[in-house]
A and B are shown apart, each in its own frame.
Chain A
């Protein structure tokens, strides 16, 4: 398998500021998603399912929840004597005084990369919900003879700063813009890049010595003529999260059977930390419709069009509609929630009502009791 020769590098903090509500206390990588996962599970599982066995997780700040989640890497089968998963704490150089941008972050990972025997490196962010076969990406990379291959998607571009859109000549990328979304269909970067490790090392060393600080402009736009950068289209269920609204919408997209089939294909499982919950109990008088519900919940009321994480309790007579309730949330008897994103261990006391709108979901912070 060619992917044996690829080391993965995941940026756990990339675009943290896009969803400030969920990332005040955590990294983008540890944002809960899809009923039982954290965002990093998707790209990490994709890498493992593609046969990669060495992955570095670069961190910048707030990474305690991420470390709790990843542990030794066991759930992804990455707790190994040789290779496996490595958490890379921020590495600040004397010159930088802190880790400010992606180039410096990569510079801090150089030690890890140079000690890896793999010839290729695959870079990825965490705010992409996907299950991608990187083996195919590798095949395409070899076949096209590209220096860098960038995964992209054709759709309306998410509103993220510096997110690249590409224009092509065949599969080769000939133009890169980082402007605001046009609202029309574009071909935008998924921020998943494959290249030779030696090339990345050279690019980063150059960039650092020249005091370059912009990954997109200085590494990609500047080198468009000298390097052959090719695109690799993803047509499956791949979504880039760019705001609380898109977090809400993409979660809700999982209520569609076709999307679930693509994201949770049985031969490509998404792994996550084990919690040893019992299966979910549906009580007498409960009513659940069109919902995705994780283990360990107790449902005694009504749940519709919602995503329930592990260990959620919905009391008798309570009504949950169009809501995302994270791990350990409690909805008291006869309480009502609608269009709400409730972070971990939130509590809505009996009889209370809380309503947002599909286009403006209300966010309730971690552990807040209402």
Chain B
């Protein structure tokens, strides 16, 4: 690999996403389906390609099988390349033993050799589990203009949500003056999006130092970046004002899907100048029968709709039988909702069967105590029996037998 690459991207995709419960039982969070045909990782991967970054390392660790399979040789994202392309980087055995990726910075540290092979000037460190459209080439231009060692993408969040984020205090020139990690009383609402642009020479040095420091937890936000800041490196915040969502919880995953149906939300996936690529199933067009009623929904290929669908996102090959109702829900590929069943305020994973007359989820209006309300989740390959009921907030990962 002698050809010099200006910028490569390292995509952190090892996260479990434990708060997504049964949805990430067998898959890593970046592989979670989203938006009728995508998986979350399609966003950073497509952003890379659309930004002109054609060398991407994907760091996997937790349940990588499906993710590896999905990424494959990178062809759907145009990342099957002679020079560069997408590379899956899993932990490997070394002469001093086998080490898992201890944390984000350590994961990059363990792949210094990979990055060195491309000898880049800049390295983008990205998170594999955020939904957003961003032009990293603009961020890189900004990084160069500021002559920074590290540039961090920054989003202004509502003040009440600020305590959930890593926050930054900046001066008039957007130079970072101080960091606050998930503070109780935030002094800033400028949150880090977990999108970093580094000058490789600098990052490389701090990765080695961080690894040598026995007190470090080897995390970017927690250790490496503060260390760089303390050492007086030039660190800048790059303001971003588009749609960005970390789908960390069931509720936020549900919301992020339904955001696609809200014309006010600034996330247009039909924009041909910034396509989000994905591995496409070979399903025929979907069929809407004469009995179907569809309002304000997103429907993918191969679906057969004979029932009622309202304010929902249906992935490929979903069947909604006559007399069935799906509202305010996300239904993943291959699931069947039988006649008379009702699915509301729910996420139903792949290839599940909701039998006749079953009810999954509940409308918040129908709850006596709103604290008991939440999105119901049905796991993959689960059968919810005839006339059975799945309560709101429930997470079902074993078959539910039919009501007696």
Report which A residues bind B (CB closer than 8 A): 34-36, 74-75, 255, 257, 260, 263-264, 266, 269-272, 274, 276-286, 288-296, 298, 303, 307-308
Q: Are A34 and B285 in contact (CB under 8 A)?
A: yes
Complex: chain A residue closest to B279, CB-CB:
A274
Nearest 8 A/B pairs, CB to CB: A35-B285, A279-B36, A269-B282, A279-B300, A294-B285, A278-B269, A264-B284, A288-B288
Q: Are B297 and A282 in contact (CB under 8 A)?
A: yes
CA distance A284 to B299 in the complex (A): 14
CA distance A274 to B37 in the complex (A): 13
Interface residues on B, range: 35 or more
Complex: chain B residue closest to A290, CB-CB:
B290
Complex: chain B residue closest to A278, CB-CB:
B269
Q: Does B276 contact A (CB under 8 A)?
A: yes
User: Which chain A positions have C-beta within 8 A of B280?
Assistant: 274, 276
Q: Are A289 and B292 in contact (CB under 8 A)?
A: yes
Q: Are B296 and A282 in contact (CB under 8 A)?
A: yes
Q: Are B296 and A276 in contact (CB under 8 A)?
A: no
Scoring A75, A263, A274, A295 by chain B CB atoms within 10 A of each residue's CB, the highest score goes to A295
CA distance A274 to B304 in the complex (A): 21
CA distance A296 to B269 in the complex (A): 10
Q: Does B35 contact A (CB under 8 A)?
A: yes
Q: Are B290 and A289 in contact (CB under 8 A)?
A: yes
User: Which chain B positions have C-beta within 8 A of A263?
Assistant: 284
State which residues 318-352 of B face A: CB under 8 Å: none
CA distance A272 to B292 in the complex (A): 28
Question: Nearest Cβ distance between residue B268 and chain A, in whole angstroms?
Answer: 9
Question: Nearest Cβ distance between residue B338 and chain A, in whole angstroms?
Answer: 16
CA distance A269 to B283 in the complex (A): 7
Report which B residues bind A (CB closer than 8 A): 35-37, 75-76, 261, 269-270, 275-278, 280, 282-290, 292, 294-302, 304, 313-315, 317
- Which of A74, A271, A289 interacts with B288 by CB under 8 Å? A289
Question: Nearest Cβ distance between residue A84 and chain B, in whole angstroms?
Answer: 15
Q: Are B295 and A276 in contact (CB under 8 A)?
A: no
User: Which chain B positions have C-beta within 8 A of A271?
Assistant: 282
Apart from A274-B280, A277-B270, A284-B295, 6 more pairs, CB < 8 Å: A272-B282, A279-B35, A282-B299, A289-B292, A290-B289, A291-B287
Given that A34-B284, A34-B285, A282-B297 are contacting pairs, would A276 and B270 also be in contact in the complex, using a CB cutoff of 8 Å? no
Given that A36-B284, A264-B284, A288-B288 are contacting pairs, would A282 and B35 also be in contact in the complex, using a CB cutoff of 8 Å? no
CA distance A270 to B286 in the complex (A): 14
Q: Are A278 and B285 in contact (CB under 8 A)?
A: no
Q: Are B292 and A288 in contact (CB under 8 A)?
A: yes
Complex: chain A residue closest to B294, CB-CB:
A282
Complex: chain A residue closest to B314, CB-CB:
A279
- Which of B275, B285, B294 interacts with A292 by CB under 8 Å? B285
CA distance A35 to B269 in the complex (A): 21
7 A-B pairs whose Cβ atoms sit less than 8 Å apart in the complex = A260-B284, A269-B282, A278-B270, A279-B314, A282-B295, A293-B287, A293-B288
Question: Nearest Cβ distance between residue B258 and chain A, in whole angstroms?
Answer: 12
Given that A276-B280, A278-B37 are contacting pairs, would A283 and B296 also be in contact in the complex, using a CB cutoff of 8 Å? yes
Q: Are A295 and B294 in contact (CB under 8 A)?
A: no
Question: Nearest Cβ distance between residue A49 and chain B, in whole angstroms?
Answer: 10
CA distance A298 to B284 in the complex (A): 17
Complex: chain A residue closest to B309, CB-CB:
A282
CA distance A292 to B36 in the complex (A): 17
CA distance A322 to B34 in the complex (A): 33
Q: Are B275 and A276 in contact (CB under 8 A)?
A: yes
Question: Nearest Cβ distance between residue A150 and chain B, in whole angstroms?
Answer: 28
Question: Nearest Cβ distance between residue B322 and chain A, in whole angstroms?
Answer: 12
Complex: chain B residue closest to A272, CB-CB:
B282
User: Which chain A positions have C-beta within 8 A of B35?
Assistant: 278-279
CA distance A255 to B295 in the complex (A): 21
Given that A277-B270, A279-B35 are contacting pairs, would A290 and B288 also be in contact in the complex, using a CB cutoff of 8 Å? yes
Complex: chain A residue closest to B77, CB-CB:
A276
CA distance A295 to B276 in the complex (A): 14
Complex: chain B residue closest to A75, CB-CB:
B282
Q: Are A280 and B295 in contact (CB under 8 A)?
A: no
Q: Are A292 and B289 in contact (CB under 8 A)?
A: no
Complex: chain B residue closest to A288, CB-CB:
B288
Question: Nearest Cβ distance between residue B106 and chain A, in whole angstroms?
Answer: 35
User: Which chain A positions have C-beta within 8 A of B296?
Assistant: 282-284
CA distance A272 to B261 in the complex (A): 28
CA distance A313 to B272 in the complex (A): 15
CA distance A272 to B296 in the complex (A): 28
Question: Nearest Cβ distance between residue A263 and chain B, in whole angstroms?
Answer: 8
CA distance A289 to B296 in the complex (A): 15
Given that A260-B284, A296-B270 are contacting pairs, would A278 and B36 also be in contact in the complex, using a CB cutoff of 8 Å? yes
Given that A278-B269, A279-B35, A279-B300 are contacting pairs, would A286 and B285 also be in contact in the complex, using a CB cutoff of 8 Å? no
Q: Are B298 and A281 in contact (CB under 8 A)?
A: yes
Complex: chain A residue closest to B311, CB-CB:
A284
Question: Nearest Cβ distance between residue B206 and chain A, in whole angstroms?
Answer: 38
Complex: chain B residue closest to A304, CB-CB:
B290
Question: Nearest Cβ distance between residue B273 and chain A, in whole angstroms?
Answer: 13
User: Which chain A positions have C-beta within 8 A of B287?
Assistant: 255, 257, 260, 291-293
Q: Are A293 and B284 in contact (CB under 8 A)?
A: no
User: Which chain B positions have C-beta within 8 A of A270?
Assistant: 282, 284
User: Which chain A positions have C-beta within 8 A of B269?
Assistant: 278
CA distance A307 to B284 in the complex (A): 12
CA distance A296 to B36 in the complex (A): 11
Given that A274-B280, A290-B290, A298-B270 are contacting pairs, would A279 and B285 also be in contact in the complex, using a CB cutoff of 8 Å? no
- Which of A257, A276, A286 interacts with B278 by CB under 8 Å? A276
User: Which chain B positions have C-beta within 8 A of A284?
Assistant: 295-296
User: Which chain A positions have C-beta within 8 A of B288?
Assistant: 288-291, 293, 303
User: Which chain B positions have C-beta within 8 A of A296?
Assistant: 270
Question: Nearest Cβ distance between residue B37 and chain A, in whole angstroms?
Answer: 6
Complex: chain A residue closest to B268, CB-CB:
A278
